[in-house]
A = this chain, B = another copy of it.
Amino acid sequence: MTSKPATIDDVARRAGVSIATVSRALQKPNIVSDSAREKVFEAVEELGYTANVMARNLRRNRTNMAVVLVPNIGNPFFSEILAGIESAASARNYNILIGDTENDPAREREYAAFVRGHQADGLILLNGRLPSLPGDRRDGANLQTSAMPPIVVACERIPESALPTVCFDNTGGARSATAYLIRMGHRRIAHITGPPDNILTQDRLAGYQAALGDAKIPLDENLIIEGDFSIESGRAAIRLLGALGEFPTAVFCANDEMAIGAIAAIKAAGKRVPEDVSVIGFDDIQFADAVDPPLTTVHQPRAEIGQTAMNLLLDVLDGNPIAQKTRVLDGGLRKRDSVAPPRA
């Protein structure tokens, strides 16, 4: 007994008014007479009418939907950013489509096509890579041109582009984390990095190096180990460090997962955290507080990053003037129990 859903025509007929009046009664109730409004609402109620959003979008050429490209939903780091985006979007009557790209360019293109195909009004990039839109002519320099939809970049910055960006002060965070270790008396401080081509990796590494420079500690290349942001790579890095000979007295990891892996490996090697080696992470994910010992880490205001990004995008979409194209937020060091002075 599945009947076709009611259309605006049905409502108009039932209410004894024109479809224009129905549309107006629903969109801007105040510009319609009381009696008409009442009749329309009644008919809507009786028929269980819901406007066909596809038709509306087609006519309005706006979807109230934004795509968010996230490299990996499974990464707890992104969830809170997404939540922030969500709340800002919801507050301004927008919906978000989360595209989990798994760093697969094909996936990215697929989702980007959403905005190209008018299924979404704008794009928020959490991955720092600009998807190449199909059928899009771009010659390096002029990105946000003709066919390009409104785009906002969050979390990462895309060095060559002029896109609106909100990001965390990664270099500053890394610098103060490393400086903290130095203040505690450490000199042999290892750094486990993310993937080398990642801009976050580069910024955090730069911060680490800057702090060492500030303290006139010579850089020891052997203490910089490449990871990939995974727990396992944190483990592996520590094992590698162990195999190389002397352990450092402290390790600064480019994210919390690697720090957690590192702690596990340090314990497995029979040493204690923080008595034998201090560990510091980056991001302050949910589990940072739950590991043993609770992880000292650089806190990122993730919800705020998400909100700021979404509001930026909405401002662009609404044609509001945007004050500053790039906003840099910063957080602070969350001191817990994974850092201590080195042993005498």
By a beta-carbon cutoff of 8 Å, the part of chain A in contact with chain B is 1-3, 5, 44-45, 48-55, 57-58, 63, 73-76, 79-80, 82-83, 86, 90, 95, 97-98, 100, 107, 110-111, 113-114, 116-119, 134-137, 145-147, 231, 260-261, 263-264, 267, 286-287, 289-292
Do B135 and A49 have beta carbons less than 8 Å apart?
A: yes
Residue of B nearest to A100 (CB): B86
Question: Beyond the given A45-B135, A49-B135, A58-B58, could you list 7 further A-B residue pairs with CB under 8 A, ordered by the A residue number?
Answer: A48-B136, A53-B117, A54-B119, A76-B79, A231-B287, A231-B290, A264-B290
User: B291–A290 contact, CB under 8 A?
Assistant: yes
Please tell me which one of the listed residues B52, B111, B116 contacts residue A117 in the complex, with CB atoms under 8 A apart.
B52
Which residue in B3, B5, B54, B292 is a CB contact (below 8 Å) of A58? B54
Complex alpha-carbon distance, A305 and B136, angstroms:
38
Q: Does B58 lie within 8 Å of A63, measured CB to CB?
A: no
A305: min CB distance to chain B, Å: 15
CA distance A137 to B3 in the complex (A): 14
* Distance in angstroms between the alpha carbons of A86 and B118 in the assembled complex: 21
- CB contacts (< 8 Å) of A48 on chain B: these are 135-137, 147
Please give, as numbers and ranges, the residues of chain B lying within 8 Å of A73 by CB-CB distance. Answer: 73, 79, 82-83, 98
In the complex, the answer to whether B52 meets A118 with C-beta atoms within 8 Å is yes
- Minimal Cβ-Cβ distance residue in B for A257: B290
Given A117-B51, A135-B45, is A267 in contact with B286 using a C-beta cutoff of 8 Å?
no
B58 and A55: CB pair below 8 A? Answer: yes
Measured between alpha carbons, how far is A297 from B287 in the docked complex, in Å?
Answer: 17
Residue from A51, A100, A113 whose CB has the most chain B CB atoms within 10 Å: A100
CB contacts (< 8 Å) of A135 on chain B: these are: 44-45, 48-50
Q: Is the CB of B261 within 8 A of A290?
A: yes
Q: Whose C-beta in chain B lies nearest to the C-beta of A55?
A: B58
- Asked whether B86 lies within 8 Å of A53 as measured between CB atoms, the reply is no
Let me know if B52 and A58 touch, CB within 8 A: yes
User: Bound complex: CA of A119 vs CA of B114, how far in Å?
Assistant: 13
Are the C-beta atoms of A260 and B287 separated by less than 8 Å? Answer: yes
Which chain B positions have C-beta within 8 A of A107? 90
CB contacts (< 8 Å) of A74 on chain B: these are 76, 79-80, 83, 286
A53-B97 Cα distance, complex, nearest whole Å:
15
Q: How far is the CA of A57 from the CA of B57 in the complex (A)?
A: 11
